[in-house]
Amino acid sequence: MKKVLLFFTIALYLMNPAKAQDPHFSQFFASPLTLNPAFTGLFSGDFRVSGNYRSQWRSISTPFTTGTAAVDFQILKNVISYTDIWGVGVMAMYDRTGGGALTSTYLSFSTAYHKGLDPEGNHTLAIGLQATYVSKRLDQTKLVFENQIDNDGYNPAIPSGETFVNPTISYLDPNIGILYNGLVGEASNIYAGASFYHITQPTETFMAKNNNRLTARYTAHGGGSFPVNGSNRIHVSALYMKQSTASEVAFGGAYGFNLNGDDDNPTTFYLGSWYRLKDAINPYVGLEINGFQMGLSYDMNVSSLKPASNYRGGVELSLIYIRKRNDGNKYRTLCPRF
């Protein structure tokens, strides 16, 4: 019975996209261009390639899946100030929900300018802009409606009584963000930012009415990293996100074990956990080696859905590759990692 109730919850999500929450990741710290466009270009290297994959609710129904692929880099390095960074990037994302009933694809272009606040460039303030082309497709054959339930259960031969005028919709969606990043002492880093998504609140509806607007999403986030026991580090981060009546608070951290003792090119094993308030515990393990940083986490559901989910939520993978810089110490700011 609990699984049936969850199915109808999913159906309501599909029928009310303007009130739904955007796709997002438990490893928000490993998906910079979905968290805040002001992260564009903020890394120590020539370019950054990143990807994320999430599969959720497999234990209850057909899983919801979300994936991204992104690349960003810095431009005009020899033109702008020594302490500044100008980044540009592109990201593709897909989101598949309700057994494939709703498929969403996103193509984003972002840019951010990081202005140095001190002569060494150890403190920066950035503003980022992002333009996203969104396309969503609804497959009515994969939906079940109340009218199709008879005494024997679901009967696909019964008409649903629903009419979708626009089974495919698309629109342009602008986003903006700000970010402070700074070096504390000789080896500690802190950062804090905020982002505002769906500035124009575009119309999003599959029905005849066109008055459903996509609700704006507000995000505030921050974190830092601090050296402990020589070459090891503690990384912490937190997130607050709100969209319409849905809100999320997440916080946690990871301990990084430097396995080779090399601060310039470390091999680091990460072990930690994040907690999404009233929803899930997210244990995390990761490995950084030769410019690659890989992460694996699992949502252990502790919300009111736990009787149906049996504490199981979703598995999530992340991969970031940064090609290391070969031009000395031009950018000395300790860039965020979590």
309 is a domain residue: yes
Query: 79 pLDDT band (50/70/90 cuts)?
Result: very high
How does pLDDT run across 277-313, given as a tens digit for each residue?
A: 988 999 999 999 999 999 999 998 887 665 555 556 6
Mean pLDDT of 35-41: 97
**CB of 180 within 8 A of CB of 125?**
yes
The pLDDT assigned to 36 comes to 98
332 is a domain residue: no
62 is a domain residue: yes
Give the least confident one: 15-19, 47-51, 181-185, 258-262.
Answer: 15-19
243 is a domain residue: yes
Q: What value does the CA radius of gyration of the chain take, rounded to a whole number of Å? A: 22
pLDDT at 270 over 50: yes
2 is a domain residue: no
1 is a domain residue: no
**What is the extent of the structural domain holding 303?**
20-323
| pTM, full prediction | 0.87
Computed from CA positions of residues 92, 98, 101, 102, in that sequence, does the dihedral angle turn out positive or negative? Answer: negative
The pLDDT assigned to 204 comes to 85
268 is a domain residue: yes
Q: How many domains does the chain have?
A: 1
53 is a domain residue: yes
Query: 3 pLDDT band (50/70/90 cuts)?
Result: very low
Q: What's 143's domain CATH number? A: 2.40.160.40
